[in-house]
Chain A
Amino acid sequence: MPIILPEDPTPIARVPSTENKTGGWRTFRPVINYEKCIRCYICWKFCPEPAIFFAPPDKYPAPKEALAKFDTIEINYDYCKGCGICANECPTKAIDMVLEELEED
């Protein structure tokens, strides 16, 4: 039998990294308090995954009328690893890191 070698010279994964749902790594879950969120998008900018995405302005309540015309944000828990950078960076402390509950069998 001849030796079977890979076709590529280096390991190349040809699936998008979005296929790899890393949300299961999370210990703490970021929860957005929309009453405090001023839609500044600093969390969106800092999220290393990224797991924070824009959402239509009226999807969540705005704390002030003037903010209601801007897009709001939401977290995609399929990818959020719970690093807490968003909560740390949030200028209005609108993100709480909540301990994930163990799933009951």
Chain B
Amino acid sequence: MVKMILTGNESAAWGARLSRPKVVAAYPITPQTSIIETIAEFIANGEMDARYIRVESEHSAMAACIAAQNTGVRTFTATSAHGLTLMHELLIWASGARLPIVMSVVNRAMAPPWSVWTDQMDSMAQRDTGWLQIYVENNQEVLDSIIMSYKIGEKHHILLPTMVMEDAFILSHTAEAVDVPDQKLVDDFIGDYDPPFKLEPGNPEGYGSLIMPEDPYMEYRYMIAQAMDDARNEIRKTVEEFAETFGREYAPLVEEYKTEDADAIMVVLGTIGSTAKDVIDSMREKGKKIGLARVRYFRPFPYEEIRALAKKADMLGIVDRSYTFGYGANLYTESKAALYGHSQVPVKNYVMGLGGRDIKPELLVKVFEDMLKIARGGQVDKEIEWVGLQGDERWSI
């Protein structure tokens, strides 16, 4: 193990390098570009034994990964925002073809207006593509999650691809100390890629061909749904094995912070979690009983963990750094769906930080105060509240 000072993107490149993909097909897009630049350098220096395929778009990048992975090798790619949404069609193909591809996604806002800063709408819009989705909080988690994603996805009862999300710039371009594990440990941990089916010369097979309504199309979809459900236990098992091998512990689907005696719990994705933990520490010194649940895996959705949270607190505040035009944001609507019929605890959606707008500790203090008011028996005044709009005095700091 070596400690290095790495940005989130360099951590992603190291995570890929240690997992030994044989093909990396990618197209540059800010703020992801330094991931594939770093990988290109690794390959050029002979430090990584992989074929780097330059393609003309992200749609082609995913198509190349699918084709390569179908020949029985690991693949890796990375993208952001418009690149990710351009891939949409092929994302569904990758999961339908049961190929455990791993992809780094640097969460970036969608245009217009153009913005390169963090916002999770890009990956939330890929919620239904059949990919596992993990949202991370720091650079170490970026690297470790890529390694674990290969291990989880390649299990024969899972066979699903994973996207590993990191917040633009807050992680992607910010350096911190990261433990880079020994190659030998990673090799032993994830093992060789052993696909149950692969294209081979001399053994002609066709994958994904036309089937009729009376053929098992529905059954194939049911098998993906089952695999996604089974992934929950595989994630729980894998984080334990990871801790045994590498000595770093991760909560499986949801990381909780000071939730045991909390009156109100904030539920978040990504780097908001770090800011919230600091705010919780300082507010607890003043006697405010608040806690945090950082959802790591959004797919499969941790519905049991969300229900357990509602049993611990008198109120859940769901923070989304994205929005679904028409009704609420994704973490909120899914959490509420999980809770319906299981809990009477009030729930409120706080939408904030869109387009990379800074989520300052002072803003989270205000949100926690609002949550505590509801927890003490106040009404949920607004089901879905946009926090930090210009001129809105309620949230001015």
Contact = CB atoms under 8 A, between A and B. Distances in A.
A13 B219 contact: no
Given A5-B216, A6-B216, A12 B222 contact: no
Interface of A is mostly: loop
A17 B98 contact: no
Contacts of A8: 196-197
B377 interface: no
A11 B219 contact: no
B223 A11 contact: no
Interface in A1-48: 3-6, 8-17
Interface in B205-221: 205-209, 211, 216, 219-220
B159 A9 contact: yes
Interface of B is mostly: loop
B204 interface: yes
Contacts of B196: 8-9
B96 interface: yes
A3 B222 CA distance: 10
Contacts of A3: 219, 222
B283 interface: no
B97 interface: yes
Contact of B223 (A5, A12, A15, A17): A5
Interface string B83-113: 0000000000000111000000000000000
Contacts of A6: 216, 219-220, 223
Given A17-B204, A17-B206, A12 B219 contact: no
5 contacts: A9-B197, A9-B227, A12-B205, A15-B204, A17-B204
Interface of B: 96-98, 156, 159, 196-197, 204-209, 211, 216, 219-220, 222-223, 227
Interface of A: 3-6, 8-17
